[in-house]
């Protein structure tokens, strides 16, 4: 059995918290008092078992129970290859990724490739395919024609399995991108009191304790005068993370380089990724702002997530020449093909899309290669990261306001009472999951199906998510 982790209480119920301080949340920065501070390490990469085959990266992942430590506390969780976060899968655009999953758990499981446009049979969702049973293996294989930071996690009993530690990063390199001195994966997770099932991640998500690769408030050592590229993945079940640092540039999002860089801060909701660049003259602190699911940035302690520390102070280096496209957003045709209304409230935890709860849903359909405009309206009592499988989509507008540059993502936050307009080219046939990436919301029903192309879109298995 897992031990109780009370870390969330350090923030949510500690002596400094909850005393009605309404002062700016920048007043108080919560950092760890652990001495010496832990060192951040990028999760070890999975060895390529086909090193002589330039077209393919071949990996084995075994999902099994595993005891590990989070911020000095013992957790009885689950892991891929006895490592939390799981092994980083690293490949180059155009390669085939071949992963054999061995299920050494007592529960069925799958792997879903979040953000990658895989064929439907490889997607790891159990709407139409069987999960991998205990003691069984399955080989996922697909070509990767995207660039950026992605992640993998189970899609069966998802909230619980991800929460127990089953997740890892996928880094897809573009040989044309400039190299940096330090290229690091930083996976955020939140830990509160771990009890039996369901979500353990920070109550309402307001003040979770975020760890980076399982470490609280670690130090990342850097060569002097170096450029650091940090690949953030929010793997928390429900905690939002506002990431902020002086001199930080956001260079990439869910789907590789942004059309234009952004400065200062980035909100990462569960499932989202961002890459940040740090020009290291001297040490920089990266802070996590408190966000509430019930209305955005909120007063409360700011958490120090990570300090990047060059071994000596030098003049800050130049930013390498990233190939930002500078593209403007696609003009909104002002027609609407599909409407998703997000409903529910935190009191009843009755989360729905268009009045329906998964698996009792009516799938939408699009013709293969159709260009569709989706409107997502949040009429619920919480924010929701809206996620679609098998595709990326463009954010055309938020409450009628177009973003300054083209914005292509696979997960997008929908704020309270906000309406988003999204443009999708439905070029990947299948019966794709559409869901909120607050995993307890998805497990409680905030999930539906978008059928693309011909073929059956009816349920095969209702048990798995
Ligand atoms: Cu991270 Cu259904 O996805
Ligand atoms: Cu996904
Ligand atoms: Cu939600």
Ligand 1 atom showing the smallest separation from residue 125 Cα: 2
pLDDT digits (tens, 9 = 90+) for 86-123: 999 999 999 999 999 999 999 999 999 999 999 999 99
Sequence-ordered strand ranges (E) for 399-446: 408-409, 411-414, 419-426, 430-436
Which ligand has the minimum distance to the alpha carbon of residue 234?
1
**What separation, in Å, do the N-terminal and C-terminal C-alpha atoms of the chain show?**
24
Angle, vertex CA 88, rays to CA 83 and CA 91, nearest 5: 155
Residues 6+ apart with CB under 8 A from 264: 244, 248
Ligand 1 interacting residues, C-beta cut-off 6 A: 112, 114, 153, 155, 271, 387, 389, 433, 435, 437
Per-residue confidence (pLDDT) for residue 203, from 0 to 100: 33
Question: Which residue CA neighbors atom 3 of ligand 1 most closely?
Answer: 114
Ligand 1 atom showing the smallest separation from residue 411 Cα: 1
Residue 47 Cα, ligand 2 centroid: separation in angstroms? 24
Residue 297 Cα, ligand 3 centroid: separation in angstroms? 17
The span from the CA of 165 to the CA of 64, in Å, is 10
Taking the CB of residue 419, how many other CB atoms lie within 10 A of it? 17
| Dihedral Cα 255, 256, 260, 262, nearest 10 deg | 90
What DSSP character marks residue 314? -
Per-residue confidence (pLDDT) for residue 451, from 0 to 100: 96
The span from the CA of 374 to the CA of 396, in Å, is 10
| Dihedral Cα 137, 142, 148, 151, nearest 10 deg | -20
Side-chain-side CA neighbours of 117 within 13 Å: the count stands at 17
Which residues pair with residue 233 across a beta bridge?
A: 187, 273
The span from the CA of 224 to the CA of 315, in Å, is 9
Taking the CB of residue 101, how many other CB atoms lie within 10 A of it? 23
Question: Which residue CA neighbors atom 1 of ligand 1 most closely?
Answer: 114
Residue 447 Cα, ligand 3 centroid: separation in angstroms? 9
Which residues pair with residue 450 across a beta bridge?
A: 364, 432
Tokens of residue 423, six digits? 């443009």
The span from the CA of 88 to the CA of 169, in Å, is 5
Helix (H) or strand (E) holding 173: strand 168-173
Ligand 1 atom showing the smallest separation from residue 389 Cα: 2
Ligand 1 atom showing the smallest separation from residue 115 Cα: 1
Handedness of CA 99, 105, 106, 110 (dihedral sign): negative
The span from the CA of 422 to the CA of 104, in Å, is 40
Domains of the chain with bracketed CATH: 7-34+178-310 (2.60.40.420), 56-173 (2.60.40.420), 338-452 (2.60.40.420)
Which residues pair with residue 69 across a beta bridge?
A: 74
Ligand 1 atom showing the smallest separation from residue 433 Cα: 2
Residue 347 Cα, ligand 1 centroid: separation in angstroms? 24
Task: Per residue of the chain (465 residues), give pLDDT as tens.
Answer: 333 333 332 233 333 333 333 333 344 677 777 778 999 999 999 999 999 999 999 999 999 999 988 877 788 899 999 999 999 999 999 999 999 999 999 999 999 999 999 999 999 998 888 999 999 999 999 999 999 999 999 999 999 999 999 999 999 999 999 999 999 999 999 876 443 334 333 333 344 678 999 999 999 999 999 999 999 999 999 889 999 999 999 999 999 999 999 998 999 999 999 999 999 999 999 999 988 888 888 887 899 999 999 999 999 999 999 999 999 999 999 999 999 999 998 888 899 999 999 999 999 999 999 999 999 999 999 999 999 999 999 999 999 999 999 999 999 999 999 999 999 999 999 999 999 999 999 999 999 999 999 865 555 544 444
Tokens of residue 429, six digits? 């046939």
Which ligand has the minimum distance to the alpha carbon of residue 415?
3
Taking the CB of residue 170, how many other CB atoms lie within 10 A of it? 25
Q: Are 174 and 147 in contact (CB under 8 A)?
A: yes
Per-residue confidence (pLDDT) for residue 206, from 0 to 100: 40
Task: Count Cβ neighbours within 10 Å for each residue of 62-85 and write b for 16 or more, e otherwise.
Answer: bbbebebebbeeebebbbbbebbb
């Amino acid at each position: 059995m897992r031990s109780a982790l009370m870390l969330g209480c350090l923030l949510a119920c500690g002596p400094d918290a909850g005393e009605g301080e309404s002062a700016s949340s920048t007043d108080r920065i919560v950092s760890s008092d652990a001495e010496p501070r832990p060192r951040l390490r990028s999760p070890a990469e999975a060895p390529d078992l086909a090193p002589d085959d330039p077209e393919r990266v071949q990996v084995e992942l075994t999902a099994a129970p595993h005891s590990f430590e989070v911020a000095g506390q013992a957790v009885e969780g689950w892991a891929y290859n006895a490592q939390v976060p799981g092994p980083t899968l690293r490949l180059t655009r155009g390669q085939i990724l071949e992963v054999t999953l061995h299920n050494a758990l007592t529960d069925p499981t799958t792997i879903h490739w979040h953000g990658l446009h895989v064929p439907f049979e490889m997607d790891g969702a159990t709407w139409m395919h069987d999960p991998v049973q205990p003691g069984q293996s399955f080989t996922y294989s697909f070509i990767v024609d995207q660039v950026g930071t992605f992640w993998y996690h189970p899609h069966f009993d998802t909230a619980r399995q991800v929460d127990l530690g089953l997740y890892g990063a996928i880094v897809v390199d573009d040989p044309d991108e400039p190299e940096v001195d330090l290229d690091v994966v930083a996976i955020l997770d939140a830990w509160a009191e771990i009890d039996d099932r369901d979500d353990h991640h920070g109550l309402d998500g307001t003040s979770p304790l975020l760890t980076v690769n399982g470490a609280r408030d670690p130090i990342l050592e850097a060569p002097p005068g170096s450029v650091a590229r940090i690949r953030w993945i929010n793997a928390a079940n429900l905690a939002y993370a506002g990431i902020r640092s002086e001199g930080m540039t956001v260079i990439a999002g869910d789907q590789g380089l942004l059309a234009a860089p952004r400065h200062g801060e980035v909100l990462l909701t569960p499932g989202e990724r961002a890459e940040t660049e740090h020009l290291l003259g001297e040490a920089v602190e990266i802070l996590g702002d408190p966000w509430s699911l019930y209305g955005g940035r909120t007063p409360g302690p700011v958490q120090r997530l990570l300090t990047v520390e060059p071994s000596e102070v030098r003049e800050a280096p130049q930013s390498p020449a990233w190939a930002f496209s500078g593209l403007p957003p696609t003009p909104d045709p002002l027609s609407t093909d599909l409407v998703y209304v997000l409903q529910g409230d935190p009191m009843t935890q009755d989360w729905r899309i268009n009045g329906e709860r998964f698996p009792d849903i009516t799938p939408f359909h699009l013709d293969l290669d159709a260009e569709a405009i989706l409107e997502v309206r949040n009429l619920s009592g919480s924010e929701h990261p809206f996620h679609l499988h098998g595709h990326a989509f463009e954010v055309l507008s938020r409450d009628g306001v177009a973003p300054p540059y083209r914005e292509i993502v696979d997960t997008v936050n929908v704020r309270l009472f906000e309406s988003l307009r999204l443009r999708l080219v439905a070029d990947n046939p299948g019966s794709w999951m559409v869901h909120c990436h607050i995993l307890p919301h998805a497990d409680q029903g905030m999930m539906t199906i978008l059928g693309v192309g011909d073929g059956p879109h009816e349920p095969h298995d209702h048990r798995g998510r």
